Amino acid sequence: MKSRIPLATPDADLVRGMAQLSMSQKIPNGTVVHLDHAYFKKQIFESEYIDADYVQKVLLSYRSNANDWKKFAYFDEYRYTRNLVDNGNDKYNLMLLCWSEGQGSVIHDHSDAHCFMKMLSGSLHETRYEWPDSTTDLNQMKAIDENQLKTNDVAYINDSIGLHRVENRSDSWKAVSLHLYSPPYSKCQVFDERTGLRNQAKVTFYSKYGNKKTYLYKQFKQLHEFVKP
Binding-site positions read: 108, 110, 164
3-class SS at 229? coil
Binding positions for Fe cation are: 108, 110, 164
Closest among 196, 164, 163, 173 to 103, alpha carbons compared:
173
Instruction: Give the number of other CB atoms < 10 A from CB of residue 57.
Output: 18
Give CA–CA dist 38/19, Å, rounded. Answer: 9
- Angular region, 111: left φ>0, alpha ψ -120 to 50, beta rest: left
Strands (E), the chain: 24-26, 32-34, 81-86, 93-99, 107-108, 114-121, 123-129, 143-150, 154-157, 163-167, 175-182, 187-191, 198-202, 207-208, 211-212
Burial of 134 (0-12, 13-18, 19+ CB in 10 A): exposed
